[in-house]
Chains A and B, each alone.
Chain A
Amino acid sequence: MIYLQILVNSVLLGGMYAAIAVGFSLVWGVMNILNILHGTFLMLGGYITFWLFHLYGVDPFLSLPLSAVAMFFLGYFIQLGIINQVIRASFFMTLVLTFGLELIGVKMALFFWTGDYRSVQTEYAGYSFQVGGVVIPLVRLALFGLGLLLTGGLFWFMAVTRTGRAIRAVRIDLEAAQLMGVNPAKIYATTYGISAGLAGAAGALVSAGFAISPVTDVEFLAKSFVICVVGGLGNITGALAGGLVLGLVENFGALYFGPGLQNALGYAVLLLVLFIRPSGLLGRAGYH
């Protein structure tokens, strides 16, 4: 029974993890940027949700779209105004740049909001129901469902919409896309904005179920990295697969090795996958 319970917990967590990582994967796959700022957008999304709840009593699930939109615009303009200046620069250059911006973000968060852990205590936080002896906490189920919705939404967007197609076109052949009238600077800013918006939404999810602090930033950046590499960089289903694997590893790892080793186990799986199957579980498709 305990195994079934942990399995369910893992899957529920995995759905949220997919949403956490999918934007990171998008920017990496389309723009070849290892976006260190990803965790910062996530943390900021979480804080927006926390403060709206704490100060005005806004339900975290209601403030999710707001976090998403706010982070979309923040991301859009950071890309257009700052990162775009070095878009032709090396992978390492953009990494250093986003790392610098991340430091600024975290320091400011520490300064204004301190390092305290904050959590959103809704009145339904403790609700749960049982299915055949397995306990399903309501909030966790909602995080799972919304996580899948966000991930699926991005999948739909990339596959069907005009802008999604233009993003793929730029990724496949930049010059040919330009000949079609695509403005690459705008597409890159939009892609980055979407990624940040997804991170903002995922941050709202995180804060609805877990305590957050400025260090949440690095923690979720690391998780995103593990998920993307394990699942296979550059495809949305890879983020889903990686999210589920990480959920399983963390939960079963906690059962066998105690809760302190969660993150270390994530990295162990990362190394294992890199060793056995360097292209990730689902391969490296690259947002075509």
Chain B
Amino acid sequence: MSRGETRGGYTTVSANDVLLSVTGLEGGYDQVQILWGVDLEVSAGEMVAIIGSNGAGKTTFLKTISGVVPSRAGTIVFDGIALEGATAKEIVERGISHVPEGRRLFGPMNIEENLLMGGYARGLKDHELAADLERVYGIFPILKERRKQLAGSMSGGEQQMCAIARGLMARPRLLLIDELSLGLAPRLVEQLCANLVEINREGVAILVVEQDVLTALDLAERGYVFESGRIAMSGTSDELIANQEVKRTYLGI
């Protein structure tokens, strides 16, 4: 893998520098195997979507990458280093942050405490994290207004913002987002998509699982279609939208 050149103290990465490379990934839960050989790639700074029907294994796939579900075979290489045997903690530390399905905020904690938990892996004191808090509050100003409010008492949209902001507090290079729009009003989804574009422009690669195919392919440059724990199809968003199979199965046209 080629590293980008260094300019003015910043490392710039060329567009097709592979950040995450998954090959032949198999995994699942105690007795059941769910993933049957998944190959997938995300380049540095890229935005990629995963679509697929219920139970296809999308969530399991993300959990296997972030290390809370063990893999059985295959490799996950992140930034040139194999993640084999790495714990969830080590994986966040290396720069993969996972915004889980259903947000999974710490409901009885306030927003700011949730965000500070997001920065936990970095091992910094709260006051050292203050600058990062301001940075995510800059993206989601509403969270700053509500920072003392209990996360469990907020609306679904605010909770999703908080979950994404919490994910950003780990300073990831790759953000995994599971079910961005589920249960949210269209106007909120638009807002969140705009937020993701902004985050992505700052150089964070995003791999987003999204059940609404049009939102997914509108947002991302490329997409993968999951079916029964395998990749059934992949391509650019335009290719996938034009595909008869995708039209029939996911768009009902």
Interface residues of A (CB under 8 A from B): 162, 165-166, 168-169, 172-173, 175-183, 288
Contacts and interface: CB of A to CB of B under 8 A. Distances in A.
A182 B120 CA distance: 7
Contact of B106 (A162, A169, A178, A181): A169
A179 B100 contact: yes
Contact of A175 (B93, B100, B120): B100
Contacts of B67: 178
A181 B89 contact: yes
A18 B154 CA distance: 35
A173 B68 CA distance: 13
Given A162-B126, A165-B113, A165-B117, A172 B107 contact: yes
A181 B93 contact: yes
Contact of A179 (B92, B107, B113): B92
B109 A166 contact: no
Residue of A168, A176, A179 with most partner-chain B CB within 10 A: A179
Interface of B: 66-68, 87-89, 92-93, 97-98, 100, 104-109, 113, 116-118, 120-121, 125-126, 166, 170
Contact of A165 (B104, B116, B166): B116
Contacts of B88: 178-179, 181
B34 to A, nearest CB: 16
Nearest to A172: B106
Contact of B117 (A177, A183, A288): A177
A175 B99 CA distance: 12
Given A168-B109, A169-B109, A172-B106, A183 B125 contact: no
A28 B224 CA distance: 45
Contacts of B121: 180-181
A178 B121 CA distance: 10
Given A180-B92, A180-B121, A183-B87, A175 B109 contact: no
A180 B104 CA distance: 11
Contacts of B126: 162
A180 B118 contact: yes
A165 B118 CA distance: 11
Given A172-B108, A176-B100, A162 B92 contact: no
